[in-house]
Amino acid sequence: MEVILGMFFGFVGWFFLRYAVGGFYTIAPNERAVVTTFGRAARIGESTTHSDPISQTLRDDEMARYEYPQVRVTGPGFYWKWPWQEVRKVSIATVTLSVAYDPEDPTANHGGRVLEAVTKDQLNIGLSGQIRFTVSERNLYAYLFGVKHPVAHVMGYLISILRDRIANFEAPPDPDAAALGTAAAPDSVDLGAQNISINDLRKHLRNLNDRMSVECASAAARYGIALDAALITGIDPPQDVESALAAINTAHNQVSSEISLAQASADQKIVQSRRAVEIETLNAQAEVEPLLALAEELRQLKATNRNSLVAYVRNARLQLLSKAGLVVLPIEREAR
């Protein structure tokens, strides 16, 4: 009998320590948790992610595929759970990984350092950069229950979009060149380097990163992971074409420099010519103004008194004769 009582009290003590005391748990400030009862997460009524602004980034054909229930999220604190409940914790801290990192095979992509991709002109390049992401607190169901390996899934999703963008990337039109017209950037000059896609990628890395951010904006609604940024910091061509590419770029830069200098010289000459025309025009106007004033004065004299005009002409002639060194007068011949 004592043995049975000992076993009973031992079981009660074990049960109390195991489930009563052991049922307490804590959630750190950078953690969130979802409590499941017999494997089912506590839901918030009939609400789904479609009622949350997080789903606005989904296309119409994706709305039906990515519809997850809204679950109760437990924040930081000290809690207790029943024995038949389980706590699923996740960290919401920002995680930074190499864009070439493969969670399922860390040795892939040169040890997670360089990601290979193919450009539109069939050039194999190596990409290096970083990706920052956080677990979306507003869609923890997708992260915990919707995808088996969410980080690996999202990395694969990101890399597939990145490679597609690299393969089809086209540089946006230059508004300055469009404003200047085709004469400012001759096709014969640009064909040497502009048609090499790696040059476009290097010059428009920010544009590429912005496009990646737009494409990955729906990752939170899809997989419960919000991509903060995807930054491509380096694009390296194969070693066998690096020297040729450098030579092409150097020649293109030299030609562009010469064209810029020629345009600057031509613009300077045009400005000088315009100034010379303005100066001569002002000089001509300065010479014409006294003549116009004199004509107006004579017109007024003629209008007031014709004799005054005759006297003015006589006085002006006498002044001119006083300055002349030789005067030739016509000889009037007598009529026969």
Averaged over successive runs of 10 residues, the pLDDT of the chain (336 residues) comes to 70 66 83 91 89 87 89 91 88 89 85 85 84 90 88 86 84 56 43 56 81 84 84 75 64 80 89 90 86 80 74 75 75 63
Q: Tell me, what's the pLDDT at 188?
A: 40
Please report how the helices 150-167 and 205-215 are oriented relative to each other, as an axis angle in degrees rounded to 10: 130
Domain boundaries, the chain: 7-237, 269-317
Q: Tell me, what's the pLDDT at 14?
A: 67
Q: Tell me, what's the pLDDT at 73?
A: 92
Residue 109 DSSP SS3: helix
Q: Tell me, what's the pLDDT at 187?
A: 44
Q: Tell me, what's the pLDDT at 244?
A: 61
* Rama region for 224: left / alpha / beta (φ>0; ψ in -120 to 50; rest): left
> DSSP character for 1?
-
| Whether 196 contacts 189, CB under 8 Å | no
Task: Answer yes or no: pTM beyond 0.75.
Answer: no
* Rama region for 122: left / alpha / beta (φ>0; ψ in -120 to 50; rest): left
Which residues, other chains included, contact 240 with Cβ-Cβ below 8 Å and sequence gap of 6+?
none
Q: Which residues pair with 143 in a beta bridge?
A: none
Beta strands in 196-278 (DSSP E): 225-236
Q: Tell me, what's the pLDDT at 152?
A: 87
**What is the rounded distance in angstroms from the CA atom of residue 10 to the CA atom of residue 49?**
48
The Cβ of residue 300 has, within 10 Å, a number of other Cβ atoms equal to 11
Residue type present at position 15: F
Q: Tell me, what's the pLDDT at 15?
A: 67
| CATH tag, 7-237 | 3.30.479.30
Work out the burial of residue 125: count CB atoms within 10 Å of its CB; fewer than 13 is exposed, 13-18 middle, 19 or more buried. buried
